[in-house]
């Protein structure tokens, strides 16, 4: 029986530029971007995931990219105080601290790290979560995080398609000048923002999808990965959501990750990923508790695989794995 007749398969064309093992990939945007980025990080690719923390709306994501490009660091006078902590309205709450100097130090490190990574990145995966924004009434700027300030400090509204397209037309030109080799993959998060209501959530996603469609038509080396459609059409079942029925669960995220690999990874990258998966499985292997010749051979074979991969892919992040298995083997030899 062909089970595909009972569901809609979302066609995902092969990306115009494919990810290779040595490429650097920036993931920025919603928590869904973080989930996808973690899969790639676990696969020992060179990635950076949300240098400024989770960001949901297109203007805040674009603002973070500009801050990184320009190496813009706030002054202590730019910070705001609430509930015993100093905050930046343009960074995640993980940057907040009782000492303003500590906030600046964290922002400084994240900005410089993000700047250098973006400068040498081959891909930026940008995931929009919502088209609703909060604009601070006094600053007259859209904020990335409200940090639990009273609601009357902000005006909340829905962006227009043109708001996003106009902002990103300028941003993509700046990114092209900053890093001519950068490829941009847009996606729209399948996470449902039901605080906006079912209809409001659909309006928000529609604005994001229309904006991304225009941007992919305006620029080369910019395309769309249909994560939203895969969940809404191909995985159309609440068993693929968490208990709150708003976020894709682990099974769904893994399925989307596999579709991402199929469409964006080169054959070499897919082969590398399969070999790395053997190392990951080896790390998860639990020995019987007895020191046996078979276990020693297992450790030696795994180290040989790591050395072989490191020689073939010098950019691979395998040093931690090498140290892990070398320590295991040294401990075995010491017994």
Beta strand 154-158 pairing with 132-136:
antiparallel
Locate 234 and state its tokens: 């191909």
Q: CA–CA distance from 286 to each of 47, 67, 295 (Å)? A: 28, 45, 10
Catalogue the E-assigned strands of 129-191: 132-136, 141-143, 154-158, 183-188
Model's pTM, two decimal places?
0.92
- Average pLDDT on 155-161 reads 96
Neighbours of 233 (CB within 10 A): 13
How many helices and strands, by DSSP H and E, does the chain display? 10, 10
Locate 137 and state its tokens: 């009434």
> How confident is the model at residue 334, as a pLDDT?
66
What are residue 47's DSSP bridge partners? Answer: 25
For the cut 90, the answer to whether the pLDDT of residue 171 exceeds it is yes
Cα-flanking dihedrals φ and ψ of residue 135, to 5°?
Answer: -105, 125
The residue assigned the tokens 């400024």 is 52
Structural domains of the chain, ranges and CATH numbers in brackets:
16-265 (3.40.50.1110), 275-334 (no CATH)
What CA dihedral angle connects 10, 14, 16 and 17, to 10 degrees? 120
Measured CA to CA, the distance from residue 76 to residue 186 in angstroms comes to 34
Locate 9 and state its tokens: 């398969």
For the cut 90, the answer to whether the pLDDT of residue 231 exceeds it is no
Read off the pLDDT of residues 42-90 as tens digits, 9 standing for 90 and up.
999 999 999 999 999 999 999 999 999 999 999 999 999 999 999 999 9
């Amino acid at each position: 029986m062909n089970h595909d007749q009972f569901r809609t398969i979302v066609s995902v064309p092969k990306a115009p530029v494919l990810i290779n093992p040595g490429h650097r990939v920036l993931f920025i945007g919603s928590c869904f971007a973080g989930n996808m980025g973690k899969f790639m990080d676990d696969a020992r690719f060179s990635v950076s995931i949300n240098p400024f923390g989770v960001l949901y709306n297109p203007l805040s994501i674009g603002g973070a990219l500009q801050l990184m490009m320009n190496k813009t660091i706030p002054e202590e006078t730019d910070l705001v105080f609430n509930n015993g902590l100093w905050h930046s309205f343009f960074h995640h709450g993980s940057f907040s601290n009782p000492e303003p100097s500590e906030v600046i130090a964290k922002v400084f490190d994240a900005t410089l790290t993000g700047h250098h990574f973006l400068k040498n990145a081959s891909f930026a995966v940008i995931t929009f979560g919502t088209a609703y924004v909060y604009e601070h009434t006094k600053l007259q700027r859209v904020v990335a995080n409200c940090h639990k300030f009273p609601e009357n400090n902000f005006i909340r509204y829905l962006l227009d398609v043109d708001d996003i397209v106009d902002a990103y037309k300028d941003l993509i030109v700046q990114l092209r000048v900053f890093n001519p080799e950068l490829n941009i993959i847009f996606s729209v998060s399948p996470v449902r923002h039901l605080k906006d209501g079912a209809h409001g959530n659909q309006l928000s996603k529609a604005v994001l999808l229309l904006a991304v469609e225009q941007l992919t038509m305006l620029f080369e080396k910019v395309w769309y990965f249909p994560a939203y459609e895969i969940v809404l059409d191909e995985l159309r079942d609440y068993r693929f959501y968490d208990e709150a029925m708003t976020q894709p669960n682990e099974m769904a995220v893994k399925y989307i990750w596999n579709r991402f690999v199929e469409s964006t990874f080169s054959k070499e990258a897919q082969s590398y990923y399969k070999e790395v998966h053997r190392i990951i499985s080896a790390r998860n292997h639990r020995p019987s508790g007895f020191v046996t010749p078979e276990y020693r051979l297992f450790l030696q074979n795994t180290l040989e695989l790591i050395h072989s991969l490191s020689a073939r892919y010098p950019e691979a992040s395998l040093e931690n794995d090498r140290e892990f298995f070398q320590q295991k083997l040294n401990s075995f030899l010491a017994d």
